[in-house]
Amino acid sequence: MPNHHIDRINDDIRRVLAEKLRDVKDPRLHQGSILTVTHTDTTTDLRHCKVYVSVLGEFDEKELMRGLRSASGYLRRELGQSLDLRYTPELTFLLDDSIAHGAYINILISDLDIKHDDDDA
């Protein structure tokens, strides 16, 4: 399978999961924080998919992961109904802290006291 085909499938899976996560009624997923699907990584045989999620705000990591594992059957079924794939991949959720890390770096940069030199030359 060409790489661009898997990239397109990954984008479709990410889009559908991001949409369907809003419909999940599990309170462990809605702890007053923002849950975002940042990236998906599907194997070439379409059997497995790693779903990277990022959470902005306060949350209990263990409860969040339990909630995602609990919702994985529902999300997989919805994914199968939304996308026309040969196989609906088994979903594995992983925590991605890149958004929180980027926000932290942004705060550090904005707090720097940089004085600009005046060019008289």
Rg (alpha carbons) of the chain, rounded to whole number: 19
How would residue 27 be classed by pLDDT, with cut points 50, 70 and 90?
Answer: confident
pLDDT at 15: 95
Beta strands per DSSP E along the chain: 34-42, 48-56, 90-95
Crossing angle of helices 3-21 and 61-82, rounded to 10°? 110
pLDDT in tens, 48-91: 999 999 887 777 888 989 999 999 999 999 999 999 888 999 99
Is this model's pTM higher than 0.75 or not? yes
Residue 43 confidence (pLDDT) above 80: yes
Domains and CATH numbers, the chain: 3-110 (3.30.300.20)
